[in-house]
Amino acid sequence: MNLDLKVRTAFTLPETIKSFSHVTAATALLLSVLLLGTLPAIAQYPDVRAHDYDSENGEEINELCAGCHGEFGQGGGGGEFPRLAGLPAKYLAKQLHQFKIKERNNMVMSMYATDREISATDLLDISIYHSQLKLTTIMPDVTPETSALEKLHLASRIFNVARYDGDVERGRLFYSKNCAKCHGVDAFGRGSTPQLTGQFTEYIRTQIGNFQAGTRTHKGMDRYIKPMTAQDIEALLAFLSVADD
């Protein structure tokens, strides 16, 4: 309960400050220093680790997300809606927070990432919920006794990005030189850095474009992504599409 309050405070603070549009920037800065000064323990981003996870709440919120991201967080729309299943909770929470504060923008997703739709507590519950959903790339073994319904359930958790034509070897080389140290040698992610393989090709392409255009930013990554040529991107997408096979 205490924690909930802290998280909420962390979320509402910057909004509160922004809403006093008549105060000067200097006053706002002073105000924020004073306010934040009294709450030194509050992180800028939602703290997944300290959260008291409510799986039932996660499952309930997922009904809102499933229309686009799928019941199992498998995404859809040919990559318009990214896969969320199995992505690091800390990463997912950060993205939702960024959509909320408009640091990351997407016309569709931004309609859902609001305080009204997803409270601070909901944001943490749904991020942990999605991070724990598992997808497989192959159909698990079934026996003659496996019911049709069960098979359907198993099948809906299979997620395999279609092979994308291109120079896989060039992509592999480019990846290991420029991306592997953060996204993991196998592209399955590392710590809170998201996996790039097992994600829709078209989604990854859009995001690379966003980072290159500066509409989405991550300081530490810009110098690796910005110089990518069209050929680098094509080769990388080909490699990523088969890296999880």
Q: Which residues bind ligand HEC (CB under 6 A)?
A: 61, 64-65, 67-69, 80-82, 84, 87, 91-92, 94-96, 106, 108-109, 112, 118, 126, 178-179, 181-183, 193-194, 196, 199, 204, 206-208, 218, 220-221, 224-225, 236
Tell me how far, at minimum, the Cβ of 99 lies from ligand HEC, in Å: 7
Between 31 and 180, name the residue whose CB sits nearer to ligand HEC.
180
Between 10 and 129, name the residue whose CB sits nearer to ligand HEC.
129
Neighbours of 78 (CB within 10 A): 11
Phi-psi region of 200 (alpha: psi -120 to 50; beta: other; left: phi over 0): beta
Tell me how far, at minimum, the Cβ of 33 lies from ligand HEC, in Å: 26
SS3 37: helix
Between 10 and 86, name the residue whose CB sits nearer to ligand HEC.
86
Q: What single-letter amino acid sits at 134? A: K
Tell me how far, at minimum, the Cβ of 205 lies from ligand HEC, in Å: 8
Length reported for the chain:
245
Between 132 and 207, name the residue whose CB sits nearer to ligand HEC.
207
Tokens encoding 159: 């997620």
Contact 34, 13 (CB under 8 A): no
Our measurement of the distance from residue 60's CA atom to the centroid of its chain's CA atoms, rounded to an integer in Å, reads 19
Between 62 and 157, name the residue whose CB sits nearer to ligand HEC.
62
Half-sphere exposure of 1 (CA within 13 A, CB side): 0
Tell me how far, at minimum, the Cβ of 88 lies from ligand HEC, in Å: 9
